[in-house]
Structure 1
Amino acid sequence: MSYNIALNFEDGVTRFISCNEGETVLDAAYRNQINLPMDCSDGVCGTCKGSCYQGNFELGDEYIDEALTDEEAAEGKILTCQMIPSSDCVVEIPAASTLCKTGIAELDGIVSEVNLVSPTAIELKVTAEQDIGFLPGQYVNIKVPGTEESRAYSFSSRPGSRDLSFLIRNVPGGLMSSWLVGQAKTGDRLSLTGPMGVFYLRPVARPVLMLAGGTGLAPFLAMLEQLRVKGCEQPVHLIYGVTNNDDLVGVAALDQFAADIDNFSFKTVVASPDSEHPRKGYVTNHMEDAPINHGEVDVYLCGPPPMVDAVLGHFRDQSIEPTSFHYEKFSPSVTAVEEQVA
């Protein structure tokens, strides 16, 4: 038996490795030619210290307190030279991937579909030629064919499948948008690098509030795909805001998620005052059903910078301090990942 271990480096790069039963994460990484920080490999120096908040594992008692204290272990800290997984795990490595003699994985994909799902959004479906692991919420860089430019897009598809999908903003005159709308066809080859990003779904241990703006819905679709498979006992509420009625996409998928996932609910909001949508304004105007729970909530936020800044300001003004707050800003030509944990 083996387990999938996601090594998430501090520069946002994620590499997946296979760890055999009874094998330490450090040994598995070295077997996969990833040189994690290490001086002793005996639980003495503490150089290989990281964190694991997702998955099951054993540390044993072969390490000394100077390397890892009981308090640190209780907080989720681990030593990769002592950590023996008993399930799939996500391990945070406090070092850049390049320092560990690894980097962003590269893979090829074949365009299977390009759909203009609204005047402002494009759905791109790609079949990966190699297995690709990613955490729900992460993104890849896709090279624009015929150029040296790349664009960052979040996965909207289920982790663990070679059938990938992306929800892409249709930017008039945009480099990738122009290629997708005017030139792309089934069978075209694409070059992808990743996965990357610290914006991903953590274990659901308390109520979750998801706030999406425009094509910022994409990573939440991947998260919901994960919850549909894994199940969820906590309330999860999504508020999805757009500018105009035509910008609303993926609503049928959200309806299906609501039918399939216990405790999941969502609402849509349209900002345009000319809209006849029953909920107008911004996501912060429609949080009456949000499971704020006196701050005992995990908040995930993805959208254009003005929306993200407005939501962060709203929480500050309301003196709401969530247990954790994860957010990602995006612009038409680049994705900037930021995270704040309260």
Structure 2
Amino acid sequence: MSYTIALNFEDGVTRFISCKEGETVLDAAYRHKVNLPMDCSDGVCGTCKGTCEQGAFDLGDEYIDEALSDEEAAEGKVLTCQMVPSSDCVVQVPVASTLCKTGVGEFPGRVAEVERLSEDSFELVVDLDEGEGLTFLPGQYVNIQVPGSDETRSYSFSSLPGERRASFLIRNVPNGLMSGYLTGAAKPEDDLTLTGPMGSFYLREVERPVLMLAGGTGLAPFLSMLRQLQARGCDQPVRLLYGVNVDDHLVKLDELDAFVEALPDFAYTTVVADAASEHPRKGYVTHHMAPELLHDGEVDVYLCGPPPMVDAVLAHFREQGISPASFHYEKFAPSLAPEEAKKEAVA
């Protein structure tokens, strides 16, 4: 038996390794040629300290308190030289991936389909090469090289991790490099290169109610998360508020309806900002955030959308004194350069 360990580095890069039963994370990483920080490998120095965000493991009792205190262990801190997983795990590594002699993965693929979903958005479907099913955490993104250029753009997966066919919702940006390619030049079998996965915005272990707040094509990571919840099962209530500017920008409602049927306690609400719309709920998602969605703070909130929406929700939470049990957000600005196009934060 083996377990999948996601190593999340502080520069946003995620590497996935397999860890054999009874093997430490440090040894498994070295076996995959990922040189995690270490000095002693005996639980004495604390150099290999990280944080396990989810998953089950055993640390044994061979390490000393100076390397890892009881208080740190209670907060989820681990020594990778002592950590023996008993399930899949996500481990935060507090150094850049380059310092561990690893880096972002590169995955070749081909255009399978481009669909114009609305005036505002496309869906890009990519077939990954044989044997290259891409593992990622639901909510993460990759950089996709725009064919015919050396430029890349960052897009969140809307598909399920590990599948050989990956999908993305892409905003139609006027005069945008990727938008121009998808509008006029894209054809099936075009070669693409994906680099990743990356990002600290991803679905954590669901232990309490979940509130998802999506703006425009910020719906993409939530489709991936919902697919994961459907595949693994979920007994907690999950609610999605999905806001767009005009009626035509509402997409993938058939898929959301399917999740309503497939998940035991999922519901979604759509909101349109356009005052001229005949949609029953107008305004912004903050106008429709009913108190029951927040469960008196016992809720995990995930937020993904353009910067103005993210900033408005953050301001609303501050003004209302809302403090969720956990709050994870990502803002995207698709017209920016690739290195600035995505900014992740966890609060």
TM-score by length of 1: 0.98
Instruction: Provide, for residues 9-36 of structure 1, a one-character-per-residue CA deviation record: whole Å limited to 9, x for no partner.
Output: 1111000011111111000101111110
Q: CA deviation at 1:291?
A: 2.3
Aligned residue in 1 for 2:344: 338
- What is the aligned partner in structure 2 of residue 186 from structure 1? 188
Q: Hey, what's the Cα distance between the residues in 2 that align with 1:169 and 1:138?
A: 17
Within the alignment, does 1:105 sit opposite 2:111 as a pair?
Answer: no
Alpha carbons 1:213, 1:241 under 8 Å: kept:
yes
Aligned to 1:213: 215
- For residues 110 and 3 of structure 1, the distance between their equivalents in structure 2, rounded to whole angstroms, comes to 30
1:289 Cα deviation after fit? 6.1
Q: For structure 2, which runs of at least 5 residues remain unmatched after alignment?
A: none
- Which residue number in structure 1 is paired with residue 288 of structure 2? 286
Shift of 1:170: 0.9
Which residue is 2:154 aligned to? 152
Cα 1:289–1:161 shift into 2, 3 Å: farther
1:314 alignment counterpart: 316
Q: How many residues align?
A: 341
The worse-fitting range, judged by mean Cα deviation, of 69-78 and 107-116 is 69-78
Q: Of residues 165, 168, 172 in structure 2, which corresponds to 1:166?
A: 168
* Structure 1 residue 294, shift from structure 2 partner: 1.6
In the alignment, which residue of structure 1 is the partner of 2:70? 70
Query: SS of 1:12's equivalent?
Result: coil
Contact 2:173 2:335 in 1 (8 A): no
Name segments (4+ residues, structure 1) moved above 3 Å. none
The alpha-carbon deviation at position 340 of structure 1 amounts to 3.3
CA distance in 2, matches of 1:332, 1:194: 17
CA contact (8 A) 1:325 1:339 kept: no
Alpha carbon RMSD of aligned pairs, Å?
1.0
Asked if structure 1 preserves the Cα contact closer than 8 Å seen for 2:200 and 2:346, the reply is no
What are the Cα deviations for residues 243-281 of structure 1, in whole angstroms up to 9, with x where unaligned?
000000011101111111111111000000110101000
Tell me: CA distance 1:273–1:337, structure 2 relative to 1, closer, same or farther (3 Å): same
Match among 118, 130, 133 for residue 131 of structure 1 = 133
- Give the structure 2 partner of residue 244 of structure 1: 246
TM-score (norm 2): 0.96
Distance 1:37 1:330 in 2: 32
Give the deviation of 1:290 after TM superposition: 4.9
| 2:231 aligned residue | 229
SS in 1 for 2:293: coil
SS at structure 2 position matched to 1:227: helix
Query: What is the SS of the residue equivalent to 2:102?
Result: coil
Measured in 2, the distance between the counterparts of 1:196 and 1:332 equals 16
Residue number in structure 1 paired with 2:264? 262
Amino acid of the residue matched to residue 2 of structure 1?
S
- Give distance in 2, aligned partners of 1:199 and 1:210: 12
Following the alignment from structure 1 to structure 2, what is the Cα–Cα distance between the partners of residues 88 and 333? 36
Secondary structure at the residue paired with 1:26?
Answer: helix
Q: Distance in 2 between matches of 1:17 and 1:338?
A: 23
Map of 1:60 onto structure 2? 60
| Identity between Structure 1 and Structure 2 (%) | 69
Mapping of 1:293-308 within 5 angstroms? 293-308=295-310
Distance (Å, rounded) in 2 between the aligned partners of 1:250 and 1:182: 23
Equivalent residue letter for 2:108: D
2:202 aligned partner: 200
| Post-superposition CA distance 1:159-215 (Å, at most 9, x none) | 111110000001122100110111111111101100000000111111111100000
CA distance in 1, matches of 2:322, 2:16: 35
Per-residue displacement from partner, 1:72-128 (whole Å, max 9, x unpaired)?
Answer: 112211110011111111111111111111111111011111000111110000011
SS of the residue corresponding to residue 224 of structure 1 reads: helix
Q: 1:277 aligns with which of 265, 276, 279?
A: 279
Comparing 262-271 with 325-334, which one deviates more in the overlay? 325-334
Structure 2 counterpart of 1:70, one-letter code:
D
- Within the alignment, does 1:116 sit opposite 2:116 as a pair? yes
Alignment of 1:31 with 2:31, yes or no, is yes
Aligned-partner residue type, residue 229 of structure 1: A
Q: Any idea what SS the aligned residue of 1:15 has?
A: strand
Distance (whole Å) between structure 2 residues aligned to residue 76 and residue 154 of structure 1: 27
